[in-house]
Every structure is written in structure tokens, then in C-alpha cells.
A and B are shown apart, each in its own frame.
Chain A
Amino acid sequence: MDEKKTAWERLQLIHTKGRPTIKDYIPQIFTDWYEMHGDRLFGDDRAIIGGIARLDGEPVTIIAEVKGRDINENKTCNFAMPHPEGYRKALRIARQAEKFHRPIICFIDTPGAFCGVAAEERGQGEAIAKNIAEFMTLRTPIISIVLGEGGSGGALALGVCDELAMLENAEYSVLSPRGFASILWKDASREQEASELMKITAEDMVRLGVAEAIIEEPLGGAHNDLDKISENIHEYLSQKIPEKCKKDIDVLLKERYTKFRKIGAFSE
């Protein structure tokens, strides 16, 4: 593990060109990957992919936000900013996983849900709300991993789970530090200051009870050794998935609810 970096340094790191995306990880960690398309309502959002594969020989459902590795991929996946149909596709595929008793693995990697006219017209708020509520009671184990950026409601829509893991340099936040600075101080240029105040690192997430695990990255960051980081993610999943699958489903659901239920700071 690297010596301690600031939140701002980690943000630069996860934006390094060549940082692995879900498209790099799938062939490294899983076998028999079959991608499924479309929400059956409107279309197929390429910012979120979903499908079936095997983890250590056992069928699993994968749902993931997709960052592009170059400009063409980024155009296709809209820079990993999903529209409502992306979240609805995720829910459709998650319900199938529940039906066929497959555990779900969500990979989060988004600056946030897309902010645009069409997204509003098709109910971005409703789509995210629905996923959050439905994932809370899906009767199958769910593990979520933040690969890089975990931006806001767009991340949470794939983040209601039994256990959340963060890659060592990944961040999870209510809003991008830039957006945060612009809302709170009306000055987007103060994003570095915001990033330090916001408590967005993997360690912060564990301390605040938002995440349960940190997956170590190779020295200098995930892009320096794809085999090693894939192995670390694989190892984590190989341990966690069977552990969660063994649990009684009603106990698991109660624990899932409690995981979120207890987050908050107040006095009475």
C-alpha cells in the first residue's frame, strides 16, 4: 500500500489515463461473460452494462458503470454518466438475478447521473429512487465495489448492497468537489479545498460506516499493474460472495437495511 495520499492526490490518480475500467477487469476476473442489453422500456444505455458471467465457476450477475478508455469509448458510454434507462436496465437485470438466485456484483465508476434535458424528461430522479428502494429488498446477495469515482445519486443507484468495497484510491461523494465548491461557495475553482473537507476517500468511507472494505492497489495506482489489481478484486469477491450466499436471506436483508439505517449524526 502507498504512503498516505491526500484526497486531491487520489482524485488525480483515478483520473490518470490508463486507469483500468470494468472492460479491463471482466476478462481478468470472470469467465463466460454474456452482456445483456436494454431496459425493455426505452433503449440501451451504454453508460451501464449488465450481464451474466462466472466467478470461480459459479454464475453471477454483473452490473457496472463504464468509463471510456479513449474518446470513442467515452462518446459511446457518455463518460460514464447514465440516463434513466441505464438505471432501469440495471434494475431489470438485478430482478433476473433475484429470480435465478444469482448473487449481484455492482461496479461503481461514475462522476454522477447525467444532467440533461432528456434525462429529466425521462425521470432521472424517479429511476434512481426506484433502484435504491428496490435494491434494498432484492432477495439475493449484492456486493458493490467503487472502482474510481463514486459520484452522488448516480453511484448510490448501484450502491445499495450487503457490503461495499472501495479500491484504495477510489472516492465516494455526495457531489463532485467541483460541483460542491460551486454550490456552497459559488466558486468552482476551490475544488481542491472542497475535496479535502468533504471526506471522500476509502478510509473516510470505512470510518463513516459507508464502506466495509478497502481493496489494495498496486504501488502508484491500479494502472501500474492490471494483473495485480484484478487479482486483489478477485480475491475479495471469492471470499465475500460465498460468505453472503451462505447467509439466510431474511437475515441478510435485515442486515442490509441496518447497514444504511444506522448512518447519521444527530442528538435528541
Chain B
Amino acid sequence: MSVRAELKYKIMKDYGAPAIMALQDIKKRKKRPVPEAFGPPLESNKRLKEILSRHYFLSRYVSGVKKVAWVTSGAPVELLRAFDFYTIYPENHSALVGAKKQGGDYCGIAEGSGFSQDICSYARIDLGHMLSGKTPAGKLPKPDLLFCSNNICQTVLYWYKAIAHELNIPLIHFDAPFVTTEQTEADVNYMAQQLQDMIPILERVSGRVFYLEIFEEILKRSMETSKTWGAILDAMKAQPAPMTIFDAFGHLAPIVSLRGLPVAQDYYHILMDEVDNRVTQGIGAISDEKYRLIWDNIAIWYKVRFLATFFAERKMNFVTATYTNAWAETTGHLNVKDPWKSMAKTYGQIILNNNLKHRLGLMTKMIKTYAVDGMVMHSTRSCKPYSVGQFDLRKAITADLDLPAVILDADIADERVWSEQQIHTRLEAFCETLEGS
């Protein structure tokens, strides 16, 4: 680690980043007017933007100071934090590219180099970034290590394997056996052992020694952060709900990619306070909430604004989603006294690694506790674990709960497969059913 690089990083962290953020803030004074259908926007948005921009901004100066790891959204990142890795989340970055409606361009780069257009668009965008160096975030540091877990999909394993090969860097894979009925003791032991097996590799790559106390501290912080995130989502049970799920898609970023760090912990306290306040004062995310909806699957990043407006104008608000809930659902298992096994339980049982009976039960519970009137399912060609089974989930839910539901065929980040006309017709028909029921 060079002293110069470290000094530069410190200066940028303490002075450079705040200055740039302030500058950006001045530039962005001219805000877009909020459409009438929406309530007042969340104050926390500003802080969220700051945190995320700062994270990407600082990553440019991290080379020679900290080791960089690319991590999947469901990986047990707490272990990496104990070695002070600077973590980049390719899924988060791909979502950012998607939200900027540039997904097609990045996918095109990957496709041109020989990757099929039938593979996940998060992966194609990331591979497009890797092959071209392009990113809307300015510049991303090259990874020293890749860390993935197939608890969200097997795809990340194939994807990270391709990066590891291209960049010739180590890949650590955390194998999380799919839960077909319930986790067995063998599953838990296997995962716990894998985590412990990783320590010597992480020590070697990071050049740091593992201290259990530091790790426990991080674990505690992570638990507390997830709990706050869960409480924020819980607050959306209020009528009117203080935020929409489209807000939550954005506010999800720290729990996914900064989990275990103080900045994420602090941020959710700020958001929690604001949300609580809005509930007390009866401020809703949309001005007139008449219908409450549930969202299933990952966001359609390039259409978030369009969908938010479309539904808000019809007095419909998304108050819960299986997606946002994924980072709160299983953290109850975490236990500092038994870190390895408790992490195995937490990370092994998340929604996408669990059977569809569990998912149906969870969705049913969410629909009831959040007083939901209708369901929108995004069937995404990119994500098989989230999408295979949706047709039958829909059938079961509409039959058991007498709930109108619609399935939108789209993609998470490749805007080229969006079929405006078709989606519009489906959405209009869904709204008519909902209003008529």
C-alpha cells in the first residue's frame, strides 16, 4: 500500500468528495417539478444520492489503498468487510446503467464480443462494462477479488467465472444449497465450513489478518441495519403509505451494497425517522391513495418513473414488494454468538434460494398485512429463479385471495425488449379490473 495513494484517498474522502457533492447539489438546484399525483418527495433522497455518488466517486482513488472486491447482492459481505475490502456491486451498477436507459448499449457490447442475448442483462451490462471500460459512474476500479453466492441464482456463478477468467483474478464462491423443503443440518454445516475456509484466502488477498471481534462488530451492525430496513418497510403498512415501492427500489441501494458499514446504518436511521414522521402526520407518497398494490420481482429499472407515474395518476400505490423485502426477511437468524451457522441460515434461506411454497406463503402474508388490493408481477427474461413459477403463483394467489393480478413481460435492465403497446394494454385492463372490483 503506497503512502501517497493512501493520502490521496484520505484527502478525497474528507475534502474532495464533500466538495464535489456540494457542487453537484448547486448544479441540480433546478429540480423537475413533482407531478400532482405524488405527495411531497422524501427529504432523505438527497442524502441517499450523496452516499451513492460518494461511494462511486471514492472508488476511483481506492487503488493502492484498499483491495477491491466485486460482490453479488446476496453474498455474505460481512466477512469481506472484516478485511476492509472496497466493495463494488455489479448488479447495482447494472441497475444504474439500466435506469439511465443505456442497458441496450452495454448489452450490445457484450453481445458483439460473443455473449448470447439470451443471458441475464445484469451480466451482459457488466461484461459490456468490463470489456469496454464504459460506465456512467465515471470510472470503476478493477477488482482484486470476486465474491459470489448462488443463493440468488446460479447465473452469478457462470457470470463471475467469466470475469475471473478474463481478468485472471481469484473468485470465491459461496455455495448455498437450494432449500427444497427445509435447510438440513448438513446444509448449514456445509455453508458454515465454507465461510471459515475462506478466511486464509481472504487474508492472503487482502494482506490483513482476521480478527473475530472486528467481524462480530460488523455482523452486529449489519443485523441492526437490516432490522431498521425491515422496520422502514413495515411502516408502509400505514394508510396512506409514507413511501412507494418505487422509492424503496432506490433506497434499497445501501442495504444491498453498503451493508455492514456505518454509513448504511446511519442512513437508515435518517430514513426511518422521516418515514415515521410522515406516518404520524398522515403524509402519503401519493396524494390520494385509493388502491394498494404488491410488486413481484426485480424492478424494471428503465421504466421506474413511467410506472410510478402511471399508477399514482390512478390513485394506486405499491406498498410492498418481494424484492425489497429480501434484505430484511431472514436477518432474524443472525446471531453474533454463533456467527458461521447463523450466517448460513440467514444467507441460505433468502427468498430466491427457497422453495415456491415458502414464496407463496410469504406473498400471501404480505398481501394480508399490507392490506393489498392487487398484484403486479414482472416476469423478467433475465431472472429465471424469480420468474419460473410466477404463472402458478399468480394462479394460486388470485384464486385463494380473490386478488386481481397482471403479469408484465419485460426485462430488468435491457430496455430493448420493452413492448410499450402490449404493456400499456395489459396495465389498462388491470386497472379497469381493480377499479371495478
A-B interaction: no
